[in-house]
Amino acid sequence: MFLFVNFRKIRDRKGVNFHGVEVIQGYTVVKDGINKWCIPKFGKMRVDAVIYVNDTLKELLHEDQSLRQITNAATLPGVVKPVIGMPDIHEGFGLPIGGVMAIEEKGVISAGAVGYDINCGVRLLRTNLEAEYFNKELLYKLIERIEYYVPTGIGKKGRHKGITRLIFDDVVHNGVEAVIKAGFGKKSDLNFIEEGGKLSGADISAVSKEAQERGEEQLGTLGGGNHFIEIQQVDSILDEKLAERFGLFKGQIAVMIHTGSRGFGHQIATDYTKILWEAAKKYGVDVPEKGLAAAPIDSKEGKAYYKAMAAAVNFAFSNRQIIMFDVIKAFEDVLKKSSESMGFQLVYDVAHNIAKWEEHGGKKLLVHRKGATRALPAGHPQNPSFYKESGHPALIPGSMGTGSYVVVGTEKAAETFYSVNHGAGRRLSRNKAKKITKEEFEKAMGDVIYNVRSFKDIVDESPLAYKDVEEVISVLSERGITTPVARLIPLAVVKGAD
DNA sequence: ATGTCC
């Protein structure tokens, strides 16, 4: 053994490390092929944890608690090998953002492993419009009009609250179909939303009155933080065939919408973190930190959380549907053309904070994804029919001033439960990002137009606060888990503002 | 992420 160790290359970084073995935050991390590192199970861990990073992104793991969080998740009852950290991993509440945790039927369900913004997700619309005709003046007019229709910022109520109050129960139980019936979009949009815009099993009776009251008036609002509506240009096509299937071409105008379940999902997450924390004690589930509060899937409390979570999932899909409708209306107003003549079409809508029943390796698993996106490969039966042969588009936004990607999962993505990263991933905490100067911020934004006038309200969303999206994307594509299809760059962005 | 602390 002594000789074996001596043959290996010794690296002097954060202490003495051997080639292929490093110690990060006190955890022994072992290289397992291209861009994949494993924390072999030890102590109370029931399974290994795995992270997908290259050398640059691996260094960032020294700076936060995300390894502790994935190893903690690996102790939960029913967890299936491995708990996964995506290349955009960073510390969260409970499971890190960029975490995937799959649980067997006899195991537990955790609210903190889904996150506070239940079904936060991304939707991409394409057009037949050419970006070269969109000058700054036109882009300003468009984002101004979008802001007129879509309330943005924390605590805002929807413009359609008269209608959404009436259809609220229908929305919660039936998802996007309910808002389409009320006039927001067309029936065929359902074919281009994960789960067809409805996670079954939702039940409003599992949702607190407080959450319901917050939700009823918030459908059709963007929210704050990293939520955005972005007018983008398809910058490069990386896979011709798949891009053609997705209706994407170089120079095309596209719109990306990133938002979630607003105060509704947040209240549900708050309520059930408390409920599941108490339930864990009652059922004797050993939960290592409050953020991972979990109860048996089969328990009264576990079942109730699933029903409430599904309600928030349906709310968020519907929220993005209404916002899409309003964005298209803004384009119609400004360009004085119909939606049809501009070629508006939903490409896809993906969730990135959700727990769902899926079949993996012949087993029924409750897959918790928090800051991770499902990416089914070509031929997978759970693809929507239009994308059955190609695999569905997985949408990965970068930070505000940088590129976004459309990718497709491959067969090799089976090792991540067909999951990919959900974005660039935060590099600086919001507090640290506040130290970015106005000059640095403006330089990072380049020519991208944005709506927020107050620098201090937006500085923590600076591209400098995020990891390099190119780096993050390359981790999974180099490993063969994803096929990049197209890169989109922002022209103008609407963020939450007061 | 969030009526950014009922």
Decide: A257 and A319 in contact? Cβ < 8 Å. Answer: no
* A455 — pLDDT class (breaks 50, 70, 90): confident
Please state, in angstroms and rounded to a whole number, the distance separating the CA atoms of residues A372 and A56: 20
Report the distance from CA of residue A13 to the C1' of nucleotide B5 in Å, as an integer: 42
Residue reference for tokens 């969260």: A92
Q: What is the pLDDT of residues A194-227, one digit of tens each?
A: 999 999 999 999 999 999 999 999 999 999 999 9
Q: Which comes out higher in pLDDT, residue A325 or A11?
A: A325
Is it the case that residue A17 has pLDDT exceeding 80?
A: no
Q: What is the pLDDT of residue A4?
A: 46
Core vs surface per residue A448-459: b (16+ CB within 10 A) or e: bbbbbeeeeebb
The confidence band for A401, taking pLDDT boundaries of 50, 70 and 90, is confident
Structure confidence at residue A8 (pLDDT) = 40
Question: Per-residue pLDDT tens for A270-308?
Answer: 999 999 999 999 999 999 999 999 999 999 999 999 999
Taking residues A223-246, report their average pLDDT: 97
Which pLDDT band holds residue A453 (cuts at 50, 70, 90)? Answer: confident
Q: How far apart are the first and last CA of chain A?
A: 63
Nucleotide nearest to A353 (CA to C1'): B1
Q: Whose CA is nearest the C1' atom of nucleotide B1?
A: A117
Could you read off the pLDDT of A30-74 as tens digits, one per residue? 999 999 999 999 999 999 999 999 999 999 999 889 999 999 999
What is the pLDDT, as a whole number, of residue A18? 64
Q: Whose CB is within 7 A of strand B? A: A 116-117, 120, 154-155, 210, 213-214, 218, 223-227, 259-260, 262-263, 266-267, 461, 496, 498
Question: What's the CA gap between A301 and A492, in Å, rounded?
Answer: 44
- For residue A243, the model assigns a pLDDT of 98
pLDDT of residue A252: 98
With 70 as the cut, is the pLDDT of residue A16 above it? no
Nucleotide nearest to A225 (CA to C1'): B1
| A50-62 burial: b if 16+ Cβ within 10 Å, else e | bbbbbeebbebbe
Q: Which residues pair with A353 in a beta bridge?
A: A370
- Summarised one tens digit per residue, pLDDT across range A360-386 is 999 999 999 999 999 999 999 999 999
Express as a percent the part of chain A with pLDDT over 90.
92
Q: Show which residues of A are catalytic.
A: 422
Any residues with CB less than 8 A from the CB of A364 and at least 6 apart, and which?
A104, A105, A357, A358
For nucleotide B4, the protein residue with its alpha carbon nearest to C1' is A154
* Closest nucleotide C1' to the C-alpha of A93: B1
Q: For residue A222, which nucleotide's C1' is closest to its Cα?
A: B1
Q: Which amino acid is at A433?
A: A
Return positions of chain B under 7 A from a protein CB. 1-4
What are the CA-CA distances from residue A56 to residues A35, A59, A475 (Å)?
11, 6, 10
Both structure tokens of A98: 């960029």
Rounded distance between C-alpha atoms, residue A217 and residue A219, angstroms: 6
Distance, in Å, from the CA atom of A475 to the CA atom of A495, rounded to the nearest integer, reads 28
Nearest partner of A118 among A282, A271, A278, judged by Cα: A271
Q: Say yes or no to pLDDT of A182 above 60.
A: yes
A7-16, A160-169, A428-437: least confidently modelled range: A7-16
C1' (B2) to CA (A426) span, angstroms:
18
pLDDT score of A63: 87
